[in-house]
Amino acid sequence: MITLSREAVAVLDEPDSMQVWPLRITAVSDTEGVPDAIFVYHRNTMTDETGDSDIFECVASGPQLQELGLEPVLDDGDGNAIPFYRSDVCEFHCRSEVEAADLWARIQVDVAELSDNMAAALSLSLAEEVEI
């Protein structure tokens, strides 16, 4: 099972910025083979550090859970870069309460799909015998 927690969404209205509704979701998994870090980010290579300016891409697929690490690989020694990484938290700055509610619902659907796919994959890893 994957548990999603959403922090309360309240309007941020700062004098020198736009009005935004921040949405922060944290994932915790108690399913074997499914880590907490299920959210895929694309590192913004225009900055020096991984962090706030990185771009949320998606809820990870099963293969992405295996292929992507918790830190982006900017140079693997062979000149290749994998600027994607996984995190257990996803954050958005929404333009309205409706957009925040919509994103919250869409993330839940995507995580449910990941959970179903991982359960199916784990069931295939078990030996089975059927008489027909």
CB 70 within 8 A of CB 50: no
Instruction: Find which of 9-18, 25-34, 74-83 is predicted with most confidence, using mean pLDDT.
Output: 25-34
Q: Which residues pair with 118 in a beta bridge?
A: none
> What are the domain boundaries of the chain?
2-124
**pTM (two decimals):** 0.83
Q: Predicted confidence band at 47 (pLDDT cuts at 50, 70, 90)? A: low
More confident residue, 114 or 127: 114
Does the pLDDT of residue 35 top 90, yes or no? yes
* Separation of alpha carbons 111 and 74, rounded Å: 27
| Amino acid in position 96 | S
Token pair for 43: 């590192």
User: When comparing pLDDT for 74 and 117, which is higher?
Assistant: 117
Q: Please, which pLDDT band fits residue 13 given cuts at 50, 70 and 90? A: low
Distance separating alpha carbons of residues 117 and 132, to the nearest angstrom: 26
Tens-place pLDDT, residues 76-94: 677 777 789 999 999 998 8
Per DSSP, which regions of 60-132 are E strands?
84-87, 89-94
